[in-house]
Amino acid sequence: MATGTFATAINCIDGRVQHAVYDWVKIHTHVDYVDMVTEPGPDKELTRGSAALIEALKQKVLISVNEHGSRTIAVAGHHGCAGNPISDEQHQEEIRQSVAVIKSWELPVKVYGLWVNSWWQAELICEGQ
């Protein structure tokens, strides 16, 4: 087990969102570190991606949960995403659906859905136990 406390973020590869998501998770979940699992348009991949890709994301999350003791997972989508070019409203719905997908994995974690707005600030969209 790693030293320090960890959370996990399933985030876009877009460098503009990395700090916003990392900071939100670290501040709001009171952890030392945030493991990043990145994918272009992760909200799209969790809701409309192939079963193989969803399973690959889950396996990466499991490393954080099982090896680092993460008890929080945040999934984030963002304004202007090249990997998932849909409206902000559609993104936010996919984030909610992504939280449900992650909850279906039945891990001992709390799940947050985050939206990174056009000012590159992370906002809480939803949460689940």
Q: Please list the pLDDT of the chain residue by residue as tens digits (129 residues).
A: 568 999 999 999 999 999 999 999 999 999 999 999 999 999 999 999 999 999 999 999 999 999 999 999 999 999 999 999 999 999 999 999 999 999 999 999 999 999 999 999 999 999 986
- Predicted model pTM: 0.95
Q: How many helices (H) and strands (E) does the chain have?
A: 4, 5
| Domain annotation covers residue 1 | no
CA 14 to chain centre: 13
> 64 lies in a domain?
yes
What per-residue confidence (pLDDT) applies to 128? Answer: 81
Range of the domain at 79: 6-128
Domain count, the chain: 1
In a domain, 66, yes or no: yes
- Helical (H) or strand (E) element with 65: helix 51-68
**Alpha helix (H) ranges present in 39-116?**
42-48, 51-68, 88-104
CATH label of the domain that carries residue 68: 3.40.1050.10
| Residue 88 placed within a domain | yes
